[in-house]
Structures are given as C-alpha cells and as structure tokens.
Structure 1
Amino acid sequence: MAIVNRIGDFAPEMAEWRRWLHRHPELGFACHRTAGFVAERLREFGVDALHEGIATSGIVAIVDGRGDGPVIGLRADMDALPMAEETGLDYASEVPGAMHACGHDGHTAMLLGAAKYLCETRNFAGKVALIFQPAEEGGGGGDEMVKEGIMERFGIGQVYGIHNAPQFPVGTFHTTPGPIMAAVDEFTIRVTGRGGHAAWPHETVDPLPAVVSMVQAVQTIVSRNHRPLDDLVISVTQLHSGTAFNVIPSVAWCGGTVRTFDPEVRAMVFRRLEEIVAGHRAAFGVEVALEIDEGYPPTVNAEGPAAFAAGVAEEIVGADNVDRQTTREMGAEDFSFMLNARPGAYLFLGQGDGPTVHHPEYDFNDEIAPVGASFFARLVERAQPAG
C-alpha cells in the first residue's frame, strides 16, 4: 500500500483529530463546534482562503497551487446521527443521543489530512476547494451548498468524495461509472376514522384495518408492478396508532422509504401509492392523506472521472485492491446534488470487519484515514499537475 509518506507521518495526528470529532458529534446543519475545529486546523495549515457559514455551518477552503489552472473540489461530510453510542470506547460520544455512527468524523479527518499535505507541498496547478459539508444525514446539506452557489463562486470544475465501507476489506477502493447509490424518498400515509369504545366497534370507523391493509398493498408495488431487473426497494418502517387496549383510535399512520435509480420507476411508485390510497379511502370509508417527501436523487458518477479516480486509487493501494465496477448501493447520498452540478466521482473505501454504519457499536477505522487522505492528495496532483 503506497500511501504518501508525508501523510503517513501525521497519521497519529489525524487519529487525534478524528477522536476529538467523535467525542463531540453534532447533528444536521448545527455543526458549529465541528466547523470551528475544522477552521482552526485549516488556518494552522495555511489555506489561502477560508469561507465559513455556508449552508449554516459549512466551510469551503481554498488552497492555491503553482500557476494557473482549474479548480478541483474535494468533499467531506461533518454531521452525526441522532442515536446513542454503545461502543464503550474511551473517546465515545459525550453528547447524549448523538453519535458518529456513519464515519463522518473519519471523512473529515481524511480531508484535513489531505489539506495539510496540499498546503505544505502545493505540487499542483490551479486551486483545490476543500468542502466540509453539514447535514448529509437527511438534511440535504449538499443541496444547500450547491444552491448557495459554491460551484460557481469558487469555479469548481469537478468534485470527488469518499465514504468508508465496513463491508469491504481494509484499504480497498470500490466505484463504478454511472449510478452508484440510489435516490431516496419518504412517504407517510395518515388515516382518519372515528374512534370509540373497543366493545362497540360498529359505532366507530376503525382506521387500523385500513392502514394495515395499505401496508400490505404497498408491498405489492415491488412484487407485482415493476420489472424485476429494475432496482427498487420500498420499506414500510413505521406504523403508529392507539393508546389503550379498550379504545379504538381515530387516527393511524404508516410511513417508509422508497429507493430507486430510474426516474420512470420512481414515478410509477408515486402513482401506485396514490392509487392505493384512493382505493382504501373508498373501501374502508376513512379519510386518507398521502405525503411524499422527495429526497436525494441518485448518486451518479461521470464515466471519465470515475475511471480517473479508480486509476489514482490503484496508485495508492494497487490494481488488485480497486474494484472499478462495484455493485451499486440502495443507500443514498446528498453528494448526488454536487455530482448533478459538476462531473466527478464517489468512491467507497473499505474499512474491514465490524459493525456496519448506523449501528450503535460502529466506529471508524483510523487505519484507513491515511489511505483516504493520500487518495485525495494524489487525485489533485494527477488531475492538475504542476508545470
């Protein structure tokens, strides 16, 4: 594994940064303490410009290379998840109900490591835009940063990102041209009937049979309404109603997530949800309201940048440790908004066995931080060679 020697030298420092971030997780757009820590490090490194408060707490730092050239964007996400940590680590979260269970602390440390190296060496032409983004976990911080004009404002021509991957061996890279992660949408179906005493159900309009029937009907969208070779996941993840054993409630609701790659499949799902709701409204004599929250689009790698990024990864870890045609994931990423705005690529970096992301016992593997930082650094030097 040919990590950059200088980055290897400050790997222990990267681990210290990461563990500080792990102890102090922040949620959504409110990554103010995290952003303050990041900004302090960037000032120490000597970035040429530091722009704070983008999308509330996001940062774009500019590092100038040697001579004129384009601008390449490197992105890390900073936010944590609203869940309790169960690792028992000595650097475990000190914030009740919040934890870095997806490795964004590690992503931030990797980009800081690359930033320190790039500020020291500046062995590239043009500029690097270091993007530290809040609110990836459902908030759409990537979309907000794009809407606030970071691509135009800083002249970013292409953009790249990495996510750690517990399912892959340590130090392996995995990417693919085209879609690599799915679009994500959420739906809520709220059913209103007429509650009453459970001993006299004939005097009520019970919402529970209607909502249970709709949960079952929604499952048939995947099994009966779409082509089996088209990727589609619909998961009903919530079902709520009732307060007592002897009370028929007035309201029940269910909700879940839709994962797709194809806009036509996505439109079909939305149409079938509307039809299921209309049919159950008539069949059960209840009022039914459907809400669809359209979320992140699919994460789509441009063909040229994906191949280029894979080649750079091979320099770092060897060709045998780079999968250029990885299987696309049904998870979602708001880096998709950045890739919709500019060509680029997204890669997974294997971190070995252990609990997966979003698990209360998950922890980022500090061993891969120098690998990710080396990839970012070499990517810049190969994309924009000095002289």
Structure 2
Amino acid sequence: MMYKTHTHAWGLSIVLAIALEVTSLSGQVSLQNRTPLDIQEGAQLLISRSGDIVGYWTDHEISLGLTTLKYENERLLKVFTITSYGIQQFVIITAKQPVQFSSQVLAISVLTGEGKDVYSWLIDVPWDYAFPSVIPVKGGDRIVIADPQSQKVSLTGKNINYSLFQETDWSHEKVLAAAPSSPTHVYLAGMKSAALDESDNVVLFSWNLDESPVEITELPLSILRDISITTDGFAAVSGTVTTGQEYYQKPRLILLSLKDLIFKSYEILPKEMMWVDEKLFAADSRRLIVLQPSSDKPVMEYQFPSRVIPLELFTAGSSFHLMYAKDSRYIEGKLSLGNIGIYSVDLQTLVHAEISVSQDYHKIVKFLPVEDGKFFLQLDRELLEFSAE
C-alpha cells in the first residue's frame, strides 16, 4: 500500500489546534500539514526524497510499494535509506532469533523502492558478541561493517576483514567509529585497548576502500565516542580522557586539521554533532555550542534552561536544527519520549529560536528528511510536515 503525505481534508478544529500548538519560528520554520496515519502501532515510515510515503516497517514486517515482506523467525533491527549513484534504495538489517550459546546471523539486504532485491550479505556473529555497526557510504554502493569489540572493519561484497591494531583481544568496552568522506573513502577512529588509564588510546585512520586502512595519528583520548568529518579537511572526535584518578574521566572534544594534524580541544562530550559550512554544531544535555577551527572559543553557546535529550541534528532551509526531548519514561515496556521540541539557528546570523512540537509522550519519534527545505516528523500514528526558509 502506498501512502501520500499531502492530505488537505482538515476540519476547523484540527487547524485551530495546530495554530495553538506549533507556531512559526521567526519566519524560518512553519508547520504545513498534520496527517493521521492508517498504520499499525509501532510502525515506522519510509519516505522518498520527494516526500511521498513509500512504505513502513515494524519488528517483523516491511512494506515497500506493493511488496510486503514478513519475517517470522527474524527481527528487523533497523531500516534506513541510502542513495546509490543517484537512486534511492533501502537497507534492511535483520537478525534471526538467537539460540543460547550459538552464533547469530546478521543479514543486510538492499532493496529498491519497489521492494525488489538488489543484494544481500550475511554476517556470523559469535554468541557473546554485540552486533557490529552498519554504515552506508554515501553516494556509492558500499556498506561498511565496523566491529568495535575486535576493532575490525569490512565491506559488504568482500570477504576481507581489516584489523586496525595488532592486539587481538576483544572487549565490549571498545568503540569504533566510521565517517565516510566520499564514495570510495572513509575515516575511522578506533581504540587501542579497553584500558581506562591510557591517555593516548584513540587512533585516527584513513581508509581508501580498495586498500587497507592507514594510521594518521594518535589522539589524547582514553575512550572514544564519535567522529565527524568536514569536506574542508577537519575532523571532530569526541570522547573522554583519564584524569589520573581510577575510573574518573573528563569529557573532551577534539577539532583536528587533517592537513597539519594540529588540534584544539574543548571540555564537552556531545550527544550529537554535525559539520555545517565549516562550523561544528555540538549538543549535549545542557548546551548547544558552535565551533570553528579558526577560533579558540565557541562562536556561539546556548545553555538550555533545563536538561534535554538531543535526538537529531539536521539542516533545512537556511537554518540548522536540533530536535530534542525533555523527558523520557517507559510505557508498556517501551521507551517513550516526551516534550518534543525543535531548536533552530540561522546559519548566517546565528540568531536562534525554539518551538514546542508536542508535550505528549511518544514511542515513535522519527525525523524524516526530504528535499527543498522540507522535513517531516513522525510522532506515533501522526505525520507533521514542516517547511524551513
């Protein structure tokens, strides 16, 4: 079944409710449509780049176009959209129901927008391992498989694993992050060991996907959190560093020039971070800061009035946006997020403003990007369409 997002058969009461709940954000963001969804509880939407709903997925089912696939003995872990050589495709990650003390099988399937198979790839995962990360390489047809426990990386379609370090001992405490920079190149950040008292424990790598990863430099971090790369030759690497006291770590964010390897560090551990126009936007539970490699101090810093849960960083129109929740709780055994809002920053003036989207609790809170300054938010069985100037 195919759904369309543009529904205009609104009653007066719905229009008034929208006007009261969500208003225009300083002329930058405004709510255009609010559409109830005829989908089962827990379903997550799949949207085309033009803004049409092409399907949905649940824990055991995916619908794309006129095709519905059911997974009786498998569980869908994640579904995301990629663009391969200009064509939109969908990556489906599933796992079979585990048998105690037996290895698990992680399946990666790539489907067209009509639900047709492009290719599939199976990965055996030892019973005591967590599942590896799956990172699509934007613009190409390759998908990176990153296993933090063993610090190994591989590609779908190739039976080659690359070890970043000679140490072979695996640990659940290790982290491995990947940031694609082109269809044929990825930057990697890994941890040499799981020791919390090592101060130069994180290493940055350059990986031409047709060759082996090459070490670039060590970084003064004990534990790695994430990595983000700009097209202008800078890397942002977040994590923590030992203070010399047992088990006590300080937050640290490093901005590194990939040309001369000169870096600056800041005492913040972002939950989300993103490069936009040579500026790094980084958010934790207390603040949003904007950093530039050319400046020793943040070019903007906003302290949230109360703690928030950063959910998504994105750009739309001429602004940068942070979607957040202020509360969370478990309802019927599932995590629900409440008090959803959007915080926006004009990319030119850095003027910022904030709106409240919903004060209710939602099990599904999903950001859906589309083209032409539009974006969607799915809140359970409701779809909100926004435009940004």
| TM-score, length basis structure 2 | 0.25
- Higher RCO (Cα < 8 Å, 6 or more apart): 1
Higher strand share: 2
Higher helix share: 1
